[in-house]
């Protein structure tokens, strides 16, 4: 049975399954901290929300990519990925704090595409920094 878990295809499927589950959970966390409903806004054609959400998905997946490369066990990969997500979430709050002239959530909900794009770039950029550190 130990050979089963060492098979590359089984290992890839395990990493894939865990990362997809983590993305779903972490997007739910982002949904809780934002003042808008991501999927409802996207369904209504809000491109700023789509960009911000896409950046979050890319950011989370990229952090886990680095985590998979750096760790040999599934549990270590999950631990580093979760820590990386917390740092990404912290980056979101720092972005909100660094823009006192306007509210990030409100601007994104109002389809301000410039703010949505900056949010996307921050998520993607931070994911590379976080990933390099884990």
Q: Are 81 and 22 a contacting pair, CB within 8 Å?
A: yes
Unique residue bearing structure tokens 């999927």: 39
CA distance readout (Å), 54 to 8, 13, 27, 89: 29, 23, 10, 15
Cα–Cα distance, 88 to 15 (Å, whole number): 20
What pLDDT does 31 receive? 93
What pLDDT does 6 receive? 73
What pLDDT does 45 receive? 97
Q: Which two tokens stand for residue 12?
A: 């890839």
Tens digit of pLDDT for each residue in 49-73? 999 999 999 999 999 999 999 988 8
Question: What are the residue ranges in the chain where pLDDT is below 50?
Answer: none
Please give the model's pTM, rounded to 2 decimal places.
0.90
């Amino acid at each position: 049975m130990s050979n089963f878990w060492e098979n590359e295809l089984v290992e890839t499927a395990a990493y894939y399954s865990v990362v997809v589950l983590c993305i779903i959970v972490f997007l739910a966390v982002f949904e809780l901290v934002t003042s808008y409903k991501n999927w409802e806004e996207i369904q209504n054609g809000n491109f700023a929300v789509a960009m911000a959400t896409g950046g979050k998905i890319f950011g989370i997946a990229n952090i886990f990519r680095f985590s998979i490369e750096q760790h040999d066990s599934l549990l270590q990969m999950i631990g580093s990925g979760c820590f990386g997500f917390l740092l990404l979430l912290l980056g979101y709050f720092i972005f909100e704090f660094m823009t006192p002239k306007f509210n990030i959530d409100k601007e994104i909900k109002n389809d301000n595409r410039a703010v949505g794009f900056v949010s996307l770039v921050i998520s993607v950029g931070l994911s590379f920094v976080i990933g390099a550190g884990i």
